[in-house]
Every structure is written in structure tokens, then in C-alpha cells.
Amino acid sequence: MFSFVHRANAVVLAFCVALPAAAQEASFKLFKLITAKDDVVIGLTDEELRSFGPRSDLDNLAERLASAGQITVWQYAVHRAADGSTVQAPLRRVAVFKTDTMRIEPFNPAPLKALPPEGPK
């Protein structure tokens, strides 16, 4: 019984430690914008996406782009991190216009790590 309690406590502790880390990693989302010319990976914070409306992230982004006509977002690209690993990282702020965008889809950078966007520039 004693070892079961210790194992259960260890599992709960590991879950509590992992939960905040997972929450921090989920503070932004990446999307791929497909245009007639090229594809662009963009990143928005959860806060930005929530400010667009109460719907799902993809619906909020698409609706905001359609209603506003253009939005300014972080463009992402593959970079080499200081530790030598390859990551998806913010490259620059870009304006995206609804007339150029043909499709928006969620983007999963796996197996690369994605770095959060910087503050507004």
C-alpha cells in the first residue's frame, strides 16, 4: 500500500509539473496561408485569436481576415537555434490581405519546436 501511494503521488506530481509546461507551449498557434503564389506560415497568440471572437481559432482567424480585409501577423520560418537545433521561429511581421488568401489551415511544426512570437514591433 505504501509504494502504491508513493507511485500515485509521483504521478500526480509529474502531471502537475507537466501541465503548466504544456499550457505555456500552447500560448500561440501556427497556421499556413495558401495563396496563388506561395504558402506562408504565420503565428498568432491565443490572446490575439480570442480577441477575434468566441469561435474556434481557425474560424476566428478566417472571419477576422474576411471582415477586416487585412491583418498583421508574425511570419514563421525554419531557423537554426543557438543550441544548434532547427526550430520554427518568428521571422518578421507581415500584412496578410484577404484577396490574396485562398486557404487557411492549422500548421503543425512537428518534429520541430516552434518558438513563441515576440512582442509587437
Express each pLDDT in 31-67 by its tens digit.
999 999 999 999 999 999 999 999 999 999 999 999 9
Across the beta sheet with 39-45, the strand order is 101-106, 28-35, 39-45, 70-80, 86-97, 113-114
Question: In Å, what is the CA distance from 18 to each residue of 3, 11, 22, 30, 57?
Answer: 22, 10, 6, 22, 24
pTM for the complete prediction?
Answer: 0.75
What's the pLDDT band for 109 if we cut at 50, 70, 90? very high
Question: In Å, what is the CA distance from 21 to each residue of 14, 26, 30, 91, 105?
Answer: 11, 9, 18, 24, 25
Predicted local distance difference test score (pLDDT) of residue 100: 87
Give the other-Cβ count within 10 Å of 76's Cβ. Answer: 25
How do the domains of the chain map onto residue ranges? 28-114
Over residues 95-99, mean pLDDT? 94
